[in-house]
Structure formats: structure tokens, C-alpha cells
Amino acid sequence: MASAVGSGLSRAEAFSLLRSLLRTAAKFSDYNIREYVRRRTIDGFRENRGLTDPSAIASAFSEGRSQLEIAKRQAVVYSIYAPQVKNIMELNAS
């Protein structure tokens, strides 16, 4: 779920997108998917931090927004069908 941080489009907008993606990531009931969405979001923003070309920034932004839409929908789907038994990684972590 790659996205971008650029100086062309406002920094605030980028951070708002990042925050929304991370907030949605936390909603996934599945341990592996939740960790992946969070990790991929952060790495995606890190990868695109140095973007300067306005069109590249714009496309990274729209990519990030569409990923956010997917994540929002799928977080709901995953929560509907979440197994009652948790992943072993979540049990001993607490």
C-alpha cells in the first residue's frame, strides 16, 4: 500500500493520508494483515519521501488514496469473518 510524501502537495495532506492509512491498518482483525498494512504504509511513505516531480507526487497520492479505500473496505470484510480463536502471536504478546 504505497503512497507518497511530497513537498509539492501540502505536507499536511500527506501526513493526513499516512495517519488515515495507519488508523485503518490498526482495524484489521488479522494479525499478519494488520502488521503488513502498517509496515507497507510506513515503507511506502519512506520510499517516496524524496519525490520532487509534481506528477510523480500526484500519482503517488492517488495511489495512496485508492489503497486507503481498499484497506477501509477490507478491514470491514476481515472483521466480519474473523475467527474466534486469535493468532498465537497475539496471545502471548499481551
Partner 1 sequence: MAGRHVAARLARSCRFRLAALRPLSSASAAVAAESALPLAETTAGEDRDGGVTMKGVRISGRPLYLDMQATTPVDPRVLDAMMPFFLSRYGNPHSRTHLYGWESDQAVEVARAQVAALINANPKEVFFTSGATESNNVSVKGLMHFYRNKKRHVVTTQTEHKCVLDSCRHLQQEGFDITYLPVQKDGLIDLQRLADSIRPDTGLVSVMAVNNEIGVVQPMEDIGRICKKKGVFFHTDAAQALGKIPIDVDRMNISLMSLSGHKIYGPKGVGALYLRRRPRVRVEPQMNGGGQERGIRSGTVPTPLVVGMGAACELAKKEMEYDGNRIEALQDRLLNGIREKLDGVVINGSMEHRYAGNLNISFAYVEGESLLMGLKEVAVSSGSACTSASLEPSYVLRALGVEEDMAHTSIRFGIGRFTTEAEIDRAVELTVKQVEKLRDMSPLYEMVKEGIDIRSIQWTQH
> 8 or 78, CB closer to partner 1?
78
Q: Give the integer Cα–Cα distance in Å for 90 and 94.
A: 7
Q: Which one among 10, 32, 59, 79 touches partner 1, defined by CB under 8 A?
A: 32
> 10 or 79, CB closer to partner 1?
79
* Sequence-ordered list of residues with C-beta below 8 angstroms from that of 44, at least 6 positions apart, any chain: 1, 2, 3, 4, 64
User: Which one of the spans 9-17, 48-56, 75-83 is the region binding partner 1 (CB under 8 A)?
Assistant: 75-83
Q: Give the integer Cα–Cα distance in Å for 29 and 10.
A: 32
Q: Which of 56, 58, 68 is nearest to 10 (CA)?
A: 58
Q: Which one among 11, 13, 16, 43 touches partner 1, defined by CB under 8 A?
A: 43
> 10 or 66, CB closer to partner 1?
66
Q: Give the integer Cα–Cα distance in Å for 71 and 50.
A: 25
Which stretches of the chain bind partner 1, using CB under 8 A?
1-2, 28, 32-33, 35-37, 40, 43, 67, 70-71, 73-74, 77-78, 83-91, 93
